[in-house]
Amino acid sequence: MFGRETFEISVPSLPPGVVINSPQVLDYVLKNEAAITKGDFFRERSWDLFGYGIINASGELWRAQRKAGLKFFSGTNLDIMIEDVLPEIYQASTRNVLSQAAQDRSAVDLQKIFHDLTTTVVGHMAYDMEIDASSPFSKAFDHASSQIGLRFQNPLYRFTEIFTGSSFRAALVEVKRFGRQIVSEARKRRAREAFESLITNTSEDETKLEQQRKQPDGDDESGLGFGTLIDSLIESLGDPKIVADAALNFLSAGRDTTAQSLTWTFYALLRHPEALKRVREEIDSKFGTAPDTPMGNQPPADDTMDNEREDGDVEIDVAALQPTSLPYTMATFYEALRLYPPVPFEIKQTNQPVTLPDGTSLPAGAIVVWCIWALNRSFSTFGEDAHSFRPERWLETSTSNPHLDADTATPPPTFKFTGARFSVGEFAVFNGGPRSCLGKKMAELMGAWVLVRMLRDWDLDEVNDGLNMDPSSSQRRSANSLTLPMQGGLPVRVRLRGR
């Protein structure tokens, strides 16, 4: 029996399955990991790429990787990323690329810019490695991911890949080689550190880094510094092959989804100039305008914030990026996530008979599919304008001010970001239940940081070359993948703001 918002999938050679379209049912599915798991259907198709990593893992193997991830995504590490690593990489690389493009008046691909940035940041923070987004590994991983996505559309993939899968197999070889390299370099570093510790007689007086790595779970200071994710994976998993798979899973999740989210956010802002104007007004009120632009040297409206450095650059700490400080900016980021979710669909499988909240009865082994892209555009959840980009849906507006007299003119409205107004079943971009997204806070902070820096410094114009667009709507398309990359990237021309 199938509920009103649950639809049967019937495909020869595949297990029975349903597509769910109800937030209440999805909430149940996400929370019941014991009965509805990743399952063999997903693992068989994704195993060649993700292997033993957290995306496929279950049971103790999954718990060990999640524990390592929780340790890595500590508040202290996020502080280091936002206040040290991200600014350094932006200044050393991203800003130089944008400056050169502005000087040459040439187009630059924002998706590539963001991919380079997130890859480098995650490489430094998680693995203490220099990882180039243009490396053979990155290109191989992107190709392999697109081919894995095609497997879910082709029941005969095992047969067709015999004839068409040579490039896919070559890509997998390169991906796995890089995974082994991550583990090998980490083990060499750890051996070197242990030897240096021994010869300098510091075994009884461990460094602060080692002490923090060994602190009890839940301590916000644990897992501090570069390379601590791979260290935690080595310590908890042991087997180099499993560690390599786990490392590749975290790298993929950390770089791809954040870069794609930023790409679609900037795309939405460039297509909605009024929203772009409001984001900039909010950024200027908090951080002032960039000093090296014609509009520069405007102090922040909030004179309680000391964000300006002596060299004229802006300092952005974690506190300044909170939704309470940048409500409209965060609402814009969430609205882009809603319309362009970085993981557009999910699949799980029952491991025992299950009855869903709407009365749908499923046997063991049934496939459960939901399309986050479609759920995020539901009229019943988001209203009649669900297909429209409107950041205000994430805000509560207030004009009250307790410091004003009753006869004082009405003050301008203030905004409060309400990211929790929708349930996990209604807005499942960050997943939910036991498998909720470990990197949610990192994605929010990095997204806000990049929006502040880019929009404070640069004017951007989309290059509408007519390529990779839907001819009927002139909207840019997504490429085939397990995630949501923009097909052909996002070409823009940049110039210093106000010029």
- Known binding residues for heme are 437
471: CB partners within 8 A, 6+ apart: none
Report the distance separating Cα 20 and Cα 97, nearest Å: 44
Report the 10 Å Cβ neighbour count for 459: 17
Angle at 381 between CA 375 and CA 384, to 5 degrees: 100
Q: How many CB atoms lie within 10 A of CB 352?
A: 11
SS3 state at 362: strand
Which amino acid is present at 12? Answer: P
Alpha carbon distance 118, 62 (integer Å): 24
CA distance 110 to 384: 31
Query: Phi then psi for 362, rounded to 5 degrees?
Result: -120, 135
> For 304, how many CA atoms within 13 A lie in the half-sphere containing its CB?
2
Binding residues: 437
The size of the chain, in residues, is: 499
Backbone angles phi, psi at 270, to 5 degrees: -65, -30
Which residues, other chains included, contact 401 with Cβ-Cβ below 8 Å and sequence gap of 6+?
Answer: 411
SS (H, E, C) 288-320: CCCCCCCCCCCCCCCCCCCCECCCCCECCCCHH
Chain centre to alpha carbon of residue 345? 15
Are 249 and 60 in contact, with CB atoms under 8 Å apart? no
**The residue to which tokens 């004082």 are assigned:** 408
Query: Radius of gyration of the chain from Cα atoms?
Result: 24
